[in-house]
Structure 1
Amino acid sequence: MNTMITSVHNPRVKRWAELLTKKGREEQGRYLVEGIHLVQEALQAGCEVECIAYALDKPLPGELQAYRSHPCEWIAVSEQVLKKCTSTQTPQGVFAVVAKQEAEENVLWQQERPLVIVLDQVQDPGNVGTIIRSAEASGATAMILGKGSADLYNPKTVRATMGAMFRIPILEGDLVPYLRQAKKRGIPILSTGLEASRTCYEWDWRKPVWFIIGNEGAGVSAAAAAEVDEVITIPMLGKAESLNAAMAATVLLFEAMRQRAFSINNL
């Protein structure tokens, strides 16, 4: 179905613009995906794309031509509408409205060898998005975003994932019940800290494991730390005291990938 909207005062446009806020996303159960690449990724991943808006005065991007038969609404919109409904300073001329689809909790317990990354009040959307991207790239089996972490559907988070959020199970909520359930099932819980006696390179990442990345400034919360089985450290040769949350998570994730997929025992 093809439609045209040119006025920023159109009721649909006002509803789309509300999705730039967390309140709007929560009330509508929808979010925005901006840019050609991310819209394409959402379509390829089978997300519930409700409509795709594209620039009225330009041809539909070639990357999206193959999806014209997709059962969603295609809407040509004015430049003013694009600017009102996107968060980037230079809109790429296309955005999609997508329904939220959170993973089911049972995905955590159906994994034979889970590698789950848990974010404890990681507040920067760029960090959260980067960690999601690293998690998907390194073969993590799931992610949990604890309360107080950046909104998964914040446009900045979505952009930073580069489409990875569509390909890895992600759950949100209070961390402690999840952590306790994992412990009951015999899955060790890790976190990082300078006081650790064992490095991340000494841990056997080939076995089931969950690990927690804490807040950028305060680290792992007391409630989550109480569920941790072991604290490990990321060794550094330079004088830096620590890495930021996204960098630390990436180091751990790719060490896990190395051991799981590329260690001599797996070749």
Structure 2
Amino acid sequence: MNQPTAITSRDNPLLKRLRLLAQDSTAYRKQGQIWLEGDHLCRALLARGRRPSTAVFTESFWPQAPHDLRDAADHIVTVPDALMAGISGLESPAGVGFVWDLPEVAGVQTGGAAVVLDRLQDAGNVGSILRSAAAMGFVQVLALKGTAGLWSPKVLRAGMGAHFALNLVEGLAADDLRDLAVPLLVTSSHQGDLLHQARLPWPCAWVLGHEGQGVSPTLEALAARSVRIIQPGGEESLNVAAAAAICLHASAAAR
């Protein structure tokens, strides 16, 4: 086990970078790294056989840290609890965090079951959809331009580790989806086949649209089918993350 390096200055370059990664939703794109805070996200990374570049522990947590976390990285640092609190995006700062180098983007996987995000704005919705996608056996999430950053801190927290099970591609245009070579299923609140009656193809790509505007006309034109969820209670529409969970479960159950 490597011995940690103690950092005590707020102006240390590493801590400056961590504050940026933790508090700026787009910093990961320039830095090529993400900040994973807390036991759950750190262990989710390790469970997928990934290794962080740096492990950061608070001074109070380091003496009691489990061995798998202590041995997770070649570069280990400890910081005063107060400095970790200055980095943290959590109400109760965690005792451990990892810095992980973003993987190279593999691009759209032809023939792979996918979830397509069309300009979704809410980070909580995006993270929740990633969790559903991973749980239901989808292999990739493809985000069109205008969607919340898939690796932003809020999406990471809402995703609860699902990121590490998926091929994630962002910044796409509608034409990029032609490489998928699987049927596109468009969700709608007012038209299309009722989900519980539809025969769903597999593999497929579910397209989930903007929280207010829905799926764009361009994607509707590319879709093989439009699907809606029965709502006997009479509400106008479902939250997009809730709709995604229902649709993705229906695909998984029909396989």
TM-score (norm 2): 0.91
Cα offset, 1:88, TM superposition: 0.9
Counterpart position of 1:99: 101
Looking at structure 1, the residues matched to 118 and 63 of structure 2 have their Cα atoms a distance apart, in angstroms, of: 41
Instruction: Quote the residue 2:18 is aligned against.
Output: 16
Structure 1 residue 25: deviation in Å? 1.8
Is the 1:6–1:80 contact (alpha carbons within 8 Å) kept by the matching residues of 2?
no
Partner of 1:41: 44
Task: Name the SS for the 1:251 alignment partner.
Answer: helix
User: CA RMSD for the aligned pairs?
Assistant: 1.8
**1:263 maps to which residue?**
none
Q: Deviations over 1:182-203 (max 9, x none)?
A: 3xx3x22111223424111233
**Corresponding position of 1:159:** 157
Alignment match, 1:220: 215
Partner of 1:54: 57
Are positions 1:237 and 2:213 aligned together? no
Deviations 1:5-49 (A, max 9, x none): 122111221121111213432221111111011111112223341
Give secondary structure in 1 for the equivalent of 2:6: strand
Q: Which amino acid aligns with 1:220?
A: V
Partners of 1:141 and 1:11 lie apart in 2 by: 36
Q: 1:23 to 1:195 in 2, by over 3 A?
A: closer
Cα separation, partners in 2 of 1:61 and 1:153, compared to 1, 3 Å: farther
Cα pair 2:61 2:96 within 8 Å, conserved: no
CA shift at 1:204, angstroms?
2.5
- Tell me what 1:75 maps to: 77
- Cα distance in 2 between the residues matched to 1:70 and 1:196: 50
Question: Distance in 2 between the 1:46 and 1:60 partners?
Answer: 25
Alignment partner, residue 150 of structure 1: 148
Distance 1:43 1:124, change over 3 A: same
Check the 8 A contact 1:86/1:95 in 2, yes or no.
no
Which consecutive residues of structure 1, in runs of 5 or more, have no partner in the other structure?
261-267
- What is the aligned length? 252
Kept in 2, the 8 Å contact 1:175–1:224? The answer is no
Runs of 4+ aligned structure 1 residues displaced above 6 Å come to none
TM-score by length of 1: 0.87
CA contact (8 A) 1:54 1:60 kept: no
Gaps spanning 5+ residues in structure 2: where?
none
Q: Percent identity?
A: 31
Determine if contact 1:125/1:156 at 8 Å carries over to the other structure. Answer: yes
Contact 2:187–2:227 under 8 Å retained in 1: yes
Query: 1:137 aligned to 2:135?
Result: yes
Q: Counterpart amino acid of 2:166?
A: I
* Cα 1:66–1:17 shift into 2, 3 Å: same
Counterpart code for 1:121: R
User: Distance between the aligned counterparts of 1:60 and 1:72, measured in 2?
Assistant: 18
